[in-house]
Amino acid sequence: MHEVSISYRPERRAPVQALRDVSLQAQEHELLAVVGPSGCGKTTLLELLCGLREPDSGTIDCPPAALMPQRDLLLPWLSALDNAALALRLAHMPKAQARARASRVFAELGLDGFERARPYELSGGMRQRVAFVRTLLSGKQVLCLDEPFGALDAITRTEMQNWLVQALRSEPRMVVLVTHDVEEAVVLADRVAVLSPRPGHVLETAEVGLPRPRRRTDAPVVALREQILQTLGLDEAAAHEGVERA
Amino acid sequence: MNKSEGKLLRVLLPAMVLVALIGIWEIYVDSGGVSQFVLPAPHAVATALWNNSALLWSNFKTTAIEVVLGIALALASGFGAAVAMHFSTTLRRALYPLAIGSQAVPFAVLAPTLVFWWGFGIFPKLVIVAVICFFPVLVTTLDALWSVDPDQLKLLKTLDASRWQAFRVAEAPAALPAAISGAKIALAVAVIAAFIAETSTGATVGSATGLGWEIVNDITALQTAREYAAVVVLMVFAVACFYTLALAERRLAPWAHQSRGEVR
């Protein structure tokens, strides 16, 4: 996307600019993380990529993208397998064939045994996995993940991050991951774009370039996280010093 | 409390309340508090129920058909109208106020017209029951369609679902249990609606005229016990219909009951 701007025009209120001149690029099979404070237009950015909105100005040149929202939004009347196979069914693939395809991916990503479970029988982490497979099976070249692990507890989140790395190793895609968790961005991404508060614009794009698997405690991970937090004006070390001095 | 104990209690509890009420009623009438022609004692109602079982049964069949077909008609047309109004704002704006207004029409006013069009048969009675029951189905279904998560529809859009596919996959299944809930509410008035329909559009051709007619005739003939017997039949029927609908809902929309075991 190049110099994209978009505003909301709520009824009877002044328009709110969500994004200002945002330019981002990503390569095939690259994981681009977008971090920023809440309300900086991250979700809007994904909606632009998925074609759910049109920008006011600027251009978007993006292959077809599928969205994975923060809430799993699995359909309670379908089994886990049928939820995952939803896109295939919407594309008029016969039921048996769609299920066979989805169960292959289930097996590949360690979800076998849960095919027939209803969403309400699954844990939060499992539901997100099924939602991810649903996004994956859309066949789109780009996956837009909107805070996919934001609603999970810390332990499950770490598990899910590891799982996502594995999943993308076996099913490589271009991924745009939106998160407010800088650490998550550094652990998962190839590059991290840092957005300012509203109206969001890119403050910095950081190459991660660290070998995988990464741990949140690895020194380079911590250093990069620190650097990005500084860009956001949230320098933890400085804050600590301030406390100590006072 | 284990499962079978819970089940037993669910039957026992209303039975106990019923027995207590009947007991109080019996004592009240037997003690001479009120004339038998005004309020018959429960044992007299039971006797009337037994002695007139053939008559009550044949009248019951007529009324039951009116109620069941009327509810079915209301469910189908209410669901259909809600979907149409959901898809077309113009249609909703044009018809919703009329649908509300239709609830205020006392059917005695329209009855002559309905009879003029369709005669003394069962059809005009069905129409009255259906129109009265239509509204709760319409409102609950429309609300359910309206409250489908907009993010859900966005998601389906990114998966290339057409508008119709989104309806079939996400909106219709969400609206179905709501429509049945509407029918459950409608049921509460459906039996009274059948009574109004029978008494306002004249006797159905043939011998069995329905319980509504019978009650009206019994009132004039001072057959108070038989009149109450007919009411007992209507009450039992309403309760049976309600639980049938509740079971149908569980069958058709099991996800709506995942966390609760009880039929409501």
Which parts of chain A register pLDDT below 50?
Answer: 246
A91–B170 C-beta distance less than 8 A: no
Q: How far is CA A141 from the centre of its chain?
A: 14
Q: What is the largest CA-CA distance in chain B?
A: 75
Burial B93-128, CB ≥16 within 10 A → b, else e:
eebeeebeeeeeeebeebbeebbeeeeeebbbbbbb
Our CA-based measurement puts residue A224 at a distance from the nearest CA of chain B, in whole angstroms, of: 33
Q: What is the mean pLDDT of each run of 10 residues along chain B (264 residues)?
A: 73 90 91 84 89 88 91 93 92 89 82 84 87 91 91 89 91 90 88 85 62 84 88 91 90 74 48
Q: What is the pLDDT at residue A237?
A: 56
| Residue-wise pLDDT tens digits, B20-76 | 999 999 998 888 878 888 888 898 899 988 998 888 898 898 889 999 999 999 999
Q: What is the pLDDT at residue A13?
A: 67
> B169 contacts in A (CB within 8 Å)?
75, 86, 90
- Give chain B's contact residues with A (Cβ, < 8 Å): 149, 151-152, 154-161, 165, 169-170, 173, 253, 255, 258-259
B155–A73 C-beta distance less than 8 A: yes
Give me the CATH code for the B55-258 domain, please.
Answer: 1.10.3720.10
Within 13 Å, how many C-alpha atoms sit on residue A147's CB side?
17
Sign of the C-alpha dihedral computed for residues B27, B31, B37 and B43 taken in this order: positive
Q: Is the ipTM of this complex over 0.85?
A: no
> B149 contacts in A (CB within 8 Å)?
73
